[in-house]
Amino acid sequence: MEHDAAAALNAPSLPFSLPQGTKVLQGMDELAAKAKLPQVKAAALAEELLSLGAVDVVELSRGDWQSLSAFGKLLPFEQKRLLSSL
């Protein structure tokens, strides 16, 4: 019995989306632990990034982090640790 996979391989791609209600910024827990950020401050960063449409910390530049209002609430050495952990 032969199968033609061409139809499946040429099917249009659906846009990627997280399941409804997913509120996890991929990589944030690891990044927060590496930067030794307090949980409350890491959660505020993640919440703000999720509200902007981010899904993973790897898609963010240093400038993206620095532009966040939650970043401005970090203490100077918390900011340094976060940026050096990217």
pLDDT digits (tens, 9 = 90+) for 35-85: 999 999 999 999 999 999 999 999 999 999 999 999 999 999 999 999 999
3-state secondary structure (DSSP) of residue 37: coil
pLDDT at 8 over 70: no
Give pTM, 2 decimals: 0.74
pLDDT at 18 over 50: no
- Residue 51: how many CB atoms within 10 A of its CB? 8
- Residue 84: how many CB atoms within 10 A of its CB? 9
pLDDT of residue 75: 98
pLDDT of residue 23: 78
